[in-house]
Structures are given as structure tokens and as C-alpha cells.
Amino acid sequence: MIWLQLYNRCRSLKHGGPRTVSASKVKCWHIFTDAASEQNTQSGGLGGVLFDSSASVCGWFGIGVSRDAGSLGAEHKQSLMYELELAARSVCYEAVGMRWFS
């Protein structure tokens, strides 16, 4: 699932057309993401939250992940924190772009 979302994000960046930017429609948003990995249970999670300029929560997500030795290069590393943090950010951008900003 994470690889599909990363693939879709890369594809949209590579093949997406130009976007119109207007200063009159700019809103301030704050996105916070995080990831966790538990060595003992071989599991973890990804999450993110979106705040508007008045610090109101506009949306959030949280998903659990299990450590699959074939995914994300796990067979070559002890810790996958970089990959999990990147996945959390990518999932959040995909969710924000599709659901919260449209």
C-alpha cells in the first residue's frame, strides 16, 4: 500500500501539469507527520494531522504497519525510521492533496 501511494505521488509530480498560483487565495496550513517503529513487536505506525491558520484540526490519519522483511529494504537495515517517516509524509501529502484541499 505504501509503495503504491509513493508511486502515485511520484507519478503526479512527474506528469502533473502546471498549477496556477494566486496570492489572493493563499491559506496557511500546518501539516505534522510522525512514524513509529517497535523493534520488539516488529510493528509500527504512521500518522499525520492538518491544522488551519487558526490552529483548528482540519483532518488527520493514522495507520498501523507491520515490518515485512521484503518491504522498504528491511532485510538490509535494523531501523526503518527514515523510510517510515518518508512514507508518513507521502501518505499525508496524498491524503491532503486529494481530500482536504480539493
pLDDT tens-place string over residues 38-70: 777 777 888 888 888 888 888 888 888 876 644
Mean pLDDT of 74-92: 76
Neighbours of 38 (CB within 10 A): 10
CA distances, 102 to each of 27, 43, 45 (Å): 13, 33, 26
Mean pLDDT of 64-88: 70
Its pTM stands at 0.56
Please report, for the chain, the start and end positions of each structural domain, with discontinuous segments joined by +.
2-7+27-100
**How far apart (Å, rounded) are the C-alpha atoms in residues 70 and 14?**
26
What's 2-7+27-100's CATH class? alpha beta
- Residue 33 has which C-alpha cell? 507527520
